[in-house]
Amino acid sequence: MTNPAALRTEHWLNARIVTDPGELAQIFRLRHRVYCEERGFFDASSYPDAQEIDEYDRRSVHFAAFDQGGEIAGSVRLVCQAAEGDQLPYQQHCQLFEGAHHPVRGRAGEVSRLVLSRGHRIPPGGGKTGTVIMMVYREMYRYSLQHGISNWYAAMERSLVRMMGRIGVEYERMGPEVDYYGPVAPYLLQLPALQQRLAQANPSLLRYLNSAV
């Protein structure tokens, strides 16, 4: 699990909500580089401007970390249910186990499009592999608490679930694996349960998450 002391990288990184069109374009270009060029999940020719954008971006809140030069280090989005009848992306592709519940509108969002710039995966200013991820997650956690969002859903591959578990963010599996640009399954993270678990198992990490609230 990441040592919270290694997460103090504000001297070279700044994480925040992104609304500026130019900075959003940086996020979409990074997503194109990761999902189209590096991992081959999407066809690069479908994005002639080299920006990976989909229909969920217009009702998402985008979070990113930038270095001192303004270069993006990593980003993630929280897809929200803006109107009655809106579905989260996982609902288009995944089924849930019997007894599992779909999200309640206004109290849930889907975490997706987590990307890291290759040059920032191990921060030059100190920290570990999970440092950038934790910084953007802290901003998303802060936003969620402020807006009454208590449940995070996600469709993830096992390797990402393990990586998130190593930095103290443990998701509950909600359904079987499906082939959605590789094998993924639906997961749920309940923020009140996360707070209770960290209060017992890793209070320093909980203090870190709450330090920006």
**Token output for 104:** 């309640």
pLDDT profile of the chain (213 residues), mean per 10: 48 88 97 94 93 96 91 95 86 91 88 88 58 90 96 93 82 93 92 92 89 71
What is the pLDDT, as a whole number, of residue 5? 46
* Spatial separation of the C-alpha atoms in residues 25 and 178, rounded to whole Å: 30
* Spatial separation of the C-alpha atoms in residues 132 and 13, rounded to whole Å: 8
* Spatial separation of the C-alpha atoms in residues 127 and 8, rounded to whole Å: 8
**According to the 3-state scheme, what is the secondary structure of 58-103?**
HHEEEEEEEECCCCEEEEEEEECCCCCCCCCHHHHCCCCCCCCCCC
Q: In sequence order, which residues have a C-beta less than 8 Å from that of residue 61 and are 6 or more positions away?
A: 17, 77, 78, 80, 109, 140, 143
What is the pLDDT, as a whole number, of residue 145? 96
Question: What pTM did the predictor assign?
Answer: 0.88
Helix ranges (DSSP H) in the chain: 21-31, 131-146, 158-166, 191-201, 203-210
Give the residue numbers spanning the domain of 61: 4-210
**Token output for 83:** 């109107």
Number of domains in the chain: 1
User: Which DSSP symbol is given to 35?
Assistant: I
User: Which DSSP symbol is given to 184?
Assistant: E
Q: Are 167 and 133 in contact (CB under 8 A)?
A: yes
DSSP SS3 for 120: helix
Q: Are 171 and 202 in contact (CB under 8 A)?
A: no
Q: What is the pLDDT of residues 97-114, one digit of tens each?
A: 998 888 888 899 999 999
CATH of the domain at 186: 3.40.630.30
What is the pLDDT, as a whole number, of residue 132? 86
**Token output for 49:** 């401007």
What is the pLDDT, as a whole number, of residue 125? 53
